[in-house]
Amino acid sequence: MVTKNTSNISKCHRTNCITSKITAGNVKSELKLFPATDTPDRSNPANTCSKYAYQKANVSVPVMVKPYALTGPANSFCCNEPTITNLQCKPHGNKQICCFTISQEICVEIPVQFGAQVCAGEPLIECHEVSLDPCSDCDTE
């Protein structure tokens, strides 16, 4: 049987239960071995008596969302006509040279991929009352 939630992966075998915590950041991974209970005899339901207990609890887990943005190669497009300013003629040795500034308004297309990485920490539980009666004010379906 394999069960999975945001912070733990458990693999239960007939002889033991191995739980590996999946975490990120400063939280270290753990490996715990738990003895598995004997499997009930489901082939003979006459030997069993099923009862239920109910416990309300508040379960919470800290979640870290780390955003990222990745840029791709940009494309440039000319807008309107260029302008020329600062036209100057200067002597350069025994010749004249011309200098000027050309300016162009451009539109730069920049592909950006936005996303986020999510890491869940260790879940916490705050136990409330235990009863043999079903929990009231809870959606049980």
User: How far is 113 from 68, CA to CA, in rounded Å?
Assistant: 8
Indicate the pTM of the whole model.
0.42
Q: What number of other Cβ atoms are within 10 A of residue 137's Cβ?
A: 5
pLDDT at 117 over 60: yes
Q: What is the DSSP letter of 26?
A: T
Write down the pLDDT at residue 138.
83
Write down the pLDDT at residue 2.
37
